[in-house]
Structure 1
């Protein structure tokens, strides 16, 4: 009968059963039985069931001793169990036939024998000893002799089925005798058939204590083997799932293990090398290279078939004898990929680029020009300096450039340089070594440049960094390496630097507040973002988006703004640009009420807003409210007359798409004047470019630009 068909119900003899009463039905699935109990007595089977329940132990019981298939079942299924328990001659025969697993015998104590003999002697009849040839037989004879009934007892011993049948027939003739035997199925059958023919039976049964001792021994073996299996499985899992190739070679230079990573790295199948010696002619040479001379070696760089491998070699010795050599190895490129993955996981706190060019709202020519230029910048790895007023969307452009570049799968790290004091900014950017200062994290800390390796770092408000930080940034940009604060080891980094400022860095260079060499390194590519007042046609799509977002947040339904509402918004110069517009419309959504028209509320709020923000916080110059929707009005910044004249010409050229004849006509000036103003603007741009040159020309340019 197969193991899968075993039940826990009452079973017929010579059928196996799994005692799963220890695991109540519906609570949990019973564990695989690792103990087989070959029972020779129903009464002992019942005792074992109760023990299994008390010990929460899965035991499979085969009801039937040697003469009823128990021996054959144990032999056929020995590999399904960790231990076999039985008793009497059945246990002895199982133990003689099975060597793969332990066999535990339920012993009969002297007390068990004496109890049976005492019952037999009390009946005052001649004795007959019925027993299989085993260690039990001498014990029975010894007690019989000591009982004073030695001359009277008859011995009926057997070793196999044929002898059993012969002794059975002889026992049937012993009327008036008391037959003493070990309680087992064959003796119980005899008792059922012969007891009515004047033959008494006194059966020897193991005590509860001896049964429990045998079962506890089996349990101990199972648990010990389980621990060993767990230990072996744990080690196998470590080896099989290691990212490193692992090969073990015994003292006879024979390959004893070859894990999946080794198969992948060396492009070899384990079956082709296992159990083979390194010195065989057909053995792959790669294994001999990795094994080398077998000496201890850590982090050795080995070139193998065009791959750089980092190799560790560990000899294992016992009693001054080399037992094995463990060789572990990994591709350097794999290590680098893991490093990138680890850096990315360290940046899982939201330090990733979320925005793309598609997220930028607006259709104005000035904005489209900036986007097109930024897309071209994304195709390179050169440093980009983005200049723009507060709220113009500098970080939005930076993230878009990163996501459009070939570094999009690398980390993106952003830091506001104005938000931290110098010492803290230095340790954040470059990291620090263990013990660099009081309170330093044990083991040190990686800086943002390290974390941005193979990705992008965004330095916002770059114009706020101190001269000391400027010097360190310059070295990173020039040498592509960093030195942690308090460290003594140079770390190579591959990072693209994008920076942004709302200051005039060019003017700061002229005034000696910013290093010119760092300015040139940061601004290999330059991108100017137009303020909102120069692209008022974008207020409509921006307002539509911000109103929808603010309405959802406020839990209100606010209709799209009318054309009159938009014109009111366009007449304000928005010194805080898109961010200021967003906050204004958020306030509008919160305060919107069905009893007040939206246009009235906008007028009211815009009046309050103008009183509060009527002067540009950066330049402290008055704001001129104007809109490009009005054909006869322009937005200018108050300044020197020449600059304002240049602004007028530039704005009109933008409005007429470069039509100089139309600009001259509408401004009432000659085309020559238009050309002259354009030349002045070009001259300013050339002067800025001259300052980027090295050496004497830079100094001459600086002199020329003095007021």
Structure 2
């Protein structure tokens, strides 16, 4: 089993829902528990816009702000969801995705409202909290620990025997326990960073007071191990980088052709590959323009850099600028590599102007980043750009700029032996 498949299998075993969106607000990953909680079909919701498919979501807001949100209550129909939203950042501290970890606490909340006997509540909580992956500790009115779950021992390294009956400060390296603060203030405390005394792990803790018949009876703390969340984020980011690096898989050695006309095309492409110039591939759908683009990249001086493809037939015109020039854009990600712009004939005229400015002057009007990407462009089209240019549908200047080096890939009907 591949590492990516294994990670997906492991995440599908979690009781917590896990969902990740990319920089375009598209759902990049969702596990089985999340589909069950949200009552959605995984195949239908993957790669869809999160705002349009998940009610009351705030993932797109965290994507913009880059600020995490922990242990937030969220209504979803008749359900109550407890969710944390964590921005995924690259080495430049840019938010490239957002992960949500959430659970359905509807039943737990109803039980907490209905149970008035503290002993019954403790017995019920004991079985519930041992089933969760979060560290949970319960303290009495004086701030002394009365209960911890298995995850607490796993994260803190302290056993129930070592902590029960002791002041709640026993697990902290420094500072006041949130249980003791909650006992004094009688109100919830959310998202406080603490460092554990045993293993020096950094955690984020939230504490909620317990009331029985309006009388304070203690508090419950939920502790998140930030290192585990960061590890998952790092694995997802590494997987994303790996997929990008492996996207250009074809080389000239892979191309087996019999027709003389196609042999001439490959010879021309092979010669152009070693020269660091932009080029235009022209040909009908399905003739192998993308395979040729990958082979050119892998035979070029940029073969160790990224190879990315942006297909303008799949992007709404109003979002073309965001994809090509926006924050964490394809242009920025392709720095020191190759960017294959497919179906260039579908690019908006205003975008053509901006692309021409970049190609001519190596500048463009954006505030998203403070460097000029070093990119080799390979353009492709199925249309006659000269005709589109004469009709005013394609920039004459851009056509001149991108067609200095061009290769026509013949249709399959002219090379049936291939």
Tell me, yes or no, whether TM beats 0.5: no
Higher fraction of strand? 2
Higher fraction of helix? 1
Structure of greater Rg: 1
Q: Which has the higher contact order (CA 8 A, sep 6+)?
A: 2
